[in-house]
Amino acid sequence: MSEVIKKKRIPAPPAKKRHVPFPEEDNGAPKAPAQTGSYSMVDPRFREIYFEFYKETYRPSVLDRKTKELVAISASLTAKCQGCLEGHIKKALKFGATREEISETIAIAMGVSAAAVVDLTDIAAESLDIKLF
């Protein structure tokens, strides 16, 4: 005797709202905290100071916007900011960065991060007066 078992469809979980820790507008102007869903634990006066600083760094200057976005990708990686990384990759592409430029930016961040590990372990070895090899 065989039983037919009907499989119940389990609904997919609702899409998780993506945390966006930085303004997404192209001119550097911040969106209101209600629009970003972020900064909920930062006093509004400090938020405003941060937003003004952020806007200032994206004003036209000696670095073109594409270069600023490539630097921001590297900084996002070292700061371990996923939302920042995704946003700055999108902006870098929008401002003309090639896949190769983004890849090289990531490689540079990897190299600096690896060097930081070596630096910290050298300092620890010196402090502890040990050499493993």
User: What's the rounded Cα separation, in Å, for the pair 54 and 63?
Assistant: 15
In a domain, 74, yes or no: yes
Half-sphere exposure of 31 (CA within 13 A, CB side): 13
Q: Are residues 48 and 74 in the same domain?
A: no
> pLDDT grade, residue 45 (50/70/90)?
very high
Q: Are residues 71 and 124 in the same domain?
A: yes
User: What's the rounded Cα separation, in Å, for the pair 2 and 118?
Assistant: 64
Domain count, the chain: 2
Of 32, 59, 86, which residue sits at a domain end? 59
Q: Are residues 73 and 112 in the same domain?
A: yes
Do the Cβ atoms of 96 and 67 come closer than 8 Å? no
> pLDDT grade, residue 56 (50/70/90)?
very high
Question: What pLDDT, on the 0 to 100 scale, is given for residue 88?
Answer: 97
User: What's the rounded Cα separation, in Å, for the pair 35 and 43?
Assistant: 16
User: What's the rounded Cα separation, in Å, for the pair 30 and 22?
Assistant: 8
Do the Cβ atoms of 37 and 16 come closer than 8 Å? no
Query: What CATH number does the domain containing 67 carry?
Result: 1.20.1290.10
Rg for the chain (alpha carbons), in Å?
22
Mean pLDDT, residues 76-82 taken together: 95
Q: What is the pLDDT of residues 115-127, one digit of tens each?
A: 999 999 999 999 9
Range of the domain at 38: 23-59
Q: Are residues 52 and 75 in the same domain?
A: no
**pLDDT surpassing 90 at residue 1:** no
Question: What pLDDT, on the 0 to 100 scale, is given for residue 18?
Answer: 60
